[in-house]
Amino acid sequence: MMIYCKIAIEEACKRNEIEVLALKVMPEHIHMVVSLPRGMTDIKALQLLKGFASFVLFRFCPDLRKRYPKGHL
């Protein structure tokens, strides 16, 4: 599960031109240091990363729907 999360976050960063400087995925949370493109706010980057990661995780791990029935990670 943590590997899927890391891959999803890295893919989201590539799609949105966010440079990952450090990434540590843990069972309950994630630590990241990133460099954002010019003009992108940290809130927008968080929305993009979280949205894409949850989309991918729910596709690859359909059993997550049992734990998060409303689709909120």
Domain extent listing, the chain:
2-62
- Please tell me the predicted confidence (pLDDT) of residue 31: 94
Match 């893919």 to its residue by tokens. 11
Q: What is the dihedral of CA 33, 37, 40, 44, to 10 degrees?
A: -50
- Please tell me the predicted confidence (pLDDT) of residue 73: 62
Give the residue with greater pLDDT, 58 vs 10: 10
- pTM value? 0.79
User: pLDDT digits over 20-67, tens only?
Assistant: 999 999 988 899 999 999 999 999 999 999 889 888 888 888 777 777
- Do the beta carbons of residue 30 and residue 5 sit within 8 Å? yes
- Do the beta carbons of residue 12 and residue 20 sit within 8 Å? no
- CATH classification code of 2-62: 3.30.70.1290
| Beta-ladder partners of 28 | none
